[in-house]
Structure 1
Amino acid sequence: MTTGVRRRMAVEQRRDQLISVALGLFGRRSPEDVSIDEIAETAGISRPLVYHYFPGKQSLYEAALRRAGDQLAALFVEPREGPLGARLLRVTHRFFDFVEDHGPGFTALMRGGPAAGSAAGAMLERVREAAYEQIVAHLGLARPAPRTELVVRSWISLAESTALLWLDGRQLARREVELQLVHDLAALAAVSAAYDEEMAGVLGRMLADEPADGPFGDLVGRLTALAPRPEPPLSQPPLSRPEPRLQAQSQAM
């Protein structure tokens, strides 16, 4: 947002302002399409003053990435109280808030545009690790087994790819996509539970603490409705007793 009037700021204040401005611009468009002149104009300062605080656009982009990484990592912090399904749904909702607010920038970052580079890769790994640690803690595990780690990390990758696909056309209601992502974690856990004792325990706790109207309860209800109903057994006709005449004939023989 353009300030309109230039005003003096302390060094850290000005740096913070420029990072915020850059993050907003990089979020709305691909970083390659944002110029230093536009950043300066939006911040209400001169182009040389931008270079006074940052050597170039790449260094400003990397600073904005670090800020975005901090914001993304914070999205996964959730009090460990109440049913797990509701907690995960709140986390997923905040994640999609960020995705929607920074759509083009998020897309460019996740698809590795020319400006991404190693700084973007490092930021993404930091965010993924923060998300992993939070989800594992919500599952009530201190040291997850390899199969559990596979499930959680797969779900984080699924959340990223789902967000990108949703941004492309927004063909489904956002709330539906958020709920489906929570259901996806339960589905991954259910498949893994068939092979792994730890995940079987996790799945049991997930469902035991879930109210009927919660996300996991909703999933169980949907799956139950899809299950084919067993057909009643065919009724057997009663055995007919021989007629007295035939019975008498057979006794006479």
Structure 2
Amino acid sequence: MSPEARRQDLIAAALELFGSRPPEDVSVDDVVKRAEVSRPLFYRYFSSIRELHLAALRSVTDGLIDRLALREEGTPTQRLRAAVRGLIDVAGEYRAGYIALLRSGSVVATSETNAVVDQVRNRAVEVILAETGVTDPSPLLLATLRCWTAVVEGALLTWLQDGIPRDVELEHWLVDQLVAMLNATAAHDPAAVALAVGSAELEF
């Protein structure tokens, strides 16, 4: 097995463990047992369980960011729903890893792990602003969009763990949630009206 393949095996083992228990409860011994390797081999690739945790999170966020970078054909509504659908697909593909990603706010969280998680959230906000043509969002509007990313994360976690709501309808429901939040913000923030008006093009 190549060094890169062995490294990916360790990351895969860690993701399975991080997805089923809090990261602070996962030890090097747990990982080497799951990956069926020795401790010396583990330390050939990672200096600590924290370094492995960060690498595991990056493996998931890279997939999410890559999917958000894809631009679909169609109306703005169709493109936004496709972006959300892409997040659902990647979260499903990396089920254990995505659950671990959302658990990164545990006691082992660091500025590095938080930055990795924020990359996905920031990219999601950038996609919405790009689709609606807003170049200078107000603080309240940005807060609204960031809150919506929290709704997305919570919905995906519920879907992955409980199967509710059904994934076939999830992207439509999440876009509807965004519509409601934007309308509420526009009522309180004149700077957000432009996005509310632009949302007509998104069929909100």
Normalising by structure 2, report the TM-score.
0.79
User: Is residue 2:16 matched to residue 1:25?
Assistant: yes
Identity of aligned residues (%): 30
Larger CA Rg, structure 1 vs 2: 1
| SS class of match (2:128) | helix
User: Is residue 2:84 matched to residue 1:98?
Assistant: no
Corresponding residue to 1:146 among 133, 139, 145? 139
Is the Cα contact below 8 Å between 2:16 and 2:96 reproduced in 1? no
Q: CA 1:196 to 1:56, structure 2 compared with 1: closer, same or farther past 3 Å?
A: closer
| SS class of match (2:69) | coil
User: Which AA in structure 2 matches 1:21?
Assistant: A
Alpha-carbon distance between aligned partners in 1 of 2:180 and 2:8, rounded to the nearest angstrom: 43
Residue 182 (structure 1) aligns with: 175
User: Which AA in structure 2 matches 1:132?
Assistant: V
Number of residues of Structure 1 aligned to a counterpart in Structure 2: 199
Note the alpha carbon deviations across 1:46-72, whole angstroms, 9 max, x for none. 442222121233322221222222222
User: Is residue 2:113 matched to residue 1:127?
Assistant: no
Q: CA 1:70 to 1:105, structure 2 compared with 1: closer, same or farther past 3 Å?
A: closer
Is the Cα contact below 8 Å between 1:80 and 1:138 reproduced in 2? no
Corresponding residue to 1:202 among 192, 195, 200? 195
Residue 80 (structure 2) aligns with: 88
User: Is residue 2:69 matched to residue 1:77?
Assistant: yes
Is the Cα contact below 8 Å between 1:75 and 1:94 reproduced in 2? yes
User: Which AA in structure 1 matches 2:56?
Assistant: A
Q: CA 1:157 to 1:116, structure 2 compared with 1: closer, same or farther past 3 Å?
A: same
The one of the two structures with greater contact order (alpha-carbon pairs below 8 A, sep at least 6) is 2
Normalising by structure 1, report the TM-score.
0.66
Residue 38 (structure 1) aligns with: 33
Is the Cα contact below 8 Å between 2:99 and 2:157 reproduced in 1? yes
Deviates most, 201-210 or 54-63: 201-210
Gapped regions of structure 1 (runs ≥ 5): 1-6, 211-215, 217-253
Gapped regions of structure 2 (runs ≥ 5): none
